[in-house]
Amino acid sequence: MQLTELGMDAWFHDHARICCEPGQRMARVTAVDRGQCVVRNALGEVPAKATGNFMRGVDSALDMPCVGDWVCVEYHDAEQFASIHAVLPRKSFLRRKSVGKNPNSQMIAANLDAVLIVQSCHYDFNVGRLERYLLMAGDGQVEPVLVLTKTDLVSGEALAQLMATIRDSGITAPILAVSNVSGSGLDQVRAVMQAGKTYCLVGSSGVGKSTLINQLTGHATVKTGVVSKSGEGRHTTVRRHLIALEQGAMLIDTPGMREVGVLMACEELDDSFEVVLQLAPGCRFTDCGHTNEPGCAVLEAVANGTLPQERYHQYIKLKAESALQESAAPDRRTGGRRF
């Protein structure tokens, strides 16, 4: 593959001239597993590892190479191994708060043109989780596309109701309904993916991401697990990796996410909840927090049914989580400097 087929363009070329030293070449990170990377250039894939000098300049885990990154590398051992000297700036990215009580953040993938957010129609459907994925996409400047899988397990009326629920919550992203069993909707997914563009699959374990990849590639590219009688699949993907599709698009598979923690400013959260943003100018106080303030237009909308109570609670929950992350950020930076 040529570098342009891997997503290289003039923007990255300009940054490569600044970041890469003489003797170093461009490559794209196609897999990361426990600090070990695989990089790909026009000649093929080789294992790679960051140099000591690079590691000493890293301020946080977010600066480490991740799948989709463009990196400056030096090849060794007859070009069978590479050392990573620099990571180019990212056009876009997906990141989340680390699982559990860990205050750190985790980079999922970089330089994406769109993210396919996968949910099962049967057991996994959850608008609140869907909104978290959409916030994650907005935080990293990535276009979202919703993919509802396992449509063969629900009736047409039930599928229509699920779609209506998504639209009623204010979500306007494109929705693709897919059955990996019948093949329905797969052509729509293929039509979304353009040659030279990079896409990422995210979603819970067992929603059919690996099976969807195998359908798109036409062969068993990734291992899939046995599906239970309830329609729930088993977690199979254990690392993030980039796959080149025959039509020229690139697809990043990711392990299922048990938690989707948000890492974004409260102002960006307001932008994502457009209905709250439209109501806020009617509040008595310009700094209204929309919780217990008198004259709050948002609370009034909840009381009269204009704003669904469930959506309001989701907004307040994410607002509190985002504020907590913002307040913890200076402490993390101070701790890093002390270390």
Total number of domains in the chain: 3
**Residues 50 and 98 placed together within one structural domain of the fold:** no
Could you give phi then psi for residue 248, rounded to 5 degrees?
A: 105, -10
Average pLDDT of the chain, as a whole number: 83
Q: What is the largest CA-CA distance in the chain?
A: 71
Q: Determine, yes or no, domain membership for 205.
A: yes
Contact 3, 30 (CB under 8 A): no
Contacts 24+ apart (CB under 8 A), 9-17: 11/91, 12/70, 12/88, 15/70, 15/88, 15/89, 16/70, 16/72, 16/88
- CATH number, domain containing residue 127: 3.40.50.300
User: In terms of C-beta density within 10 A (0-12 exposed, 13-18 middle, 19 or more buried), how is residue 57 classed?
Assistant: exposed
pLDDT band at 99 (very low <50, low <70, confident <90, very high): low
**Residues 83 and 115 placed together within one structural domain of the fold:** no
Give the CA angle between residues 23, 113, 62 to the nearest 5°: 60
**Residues 142 and 178 placed together within one structural domain of the fold:** yes
User: Which position has the higher pLDDT, 227 or 93?
Assistant: 93
Q: Which domain holds residue 26?
A: 3-87
**Residues 168 and 34 placed together within one structural domain of the fold:** no
Among the ranges given (59-73, 235-249, 254-268, 276-290), the one the predictor scored with the smallest mean pLDDT:
254-268
**Residues 99 and 75 placed together within one structural domain of the fold:** no
pLDDT confidence of residue 65 = 95
pLDDT in tens, 284-310: 888 888 888 899 999 998 898 888 877
Residue with tokens 């700094």: 287
Residue 250 β-bridge partners: 198, 244
- CATH number, domain containing residue 274: 1.10.40.50
Exposure letters 189-218 (e unless 16+ CB within 10 A, then b): beebbeeeebbbbbbbbbbbbbbbbbbbee
Q: What is the pTM of this model?
A: 0.76
pLDDT band at 219 (very low <50, low <70, confident <90, very high): low
Radius of gyration of the chain (CA): 22
Q: Which two tokens stand for residue 193?
A: 């993916």
**Residues 240 and 103 placed together within one structural domain of the fold:** yes
Give the percent of the chain with pLDDT over 70: 81
Nearest Cα residue to 124 out of 4, 205, 43, 216: 205
Does residue 28 have a pLDDT over 60?
yes
End-of-domain residue from the set 35, 58, 87: 87
pLDDT band at 94 (very low <50, low <70, confident <90, very high): very high
**Residues 155 and 222 placed together within one structural domain of the fold:** yes
Mean pLDDT of 238-257: 83
Does residue 207 have a pLDDT over 60?
yes
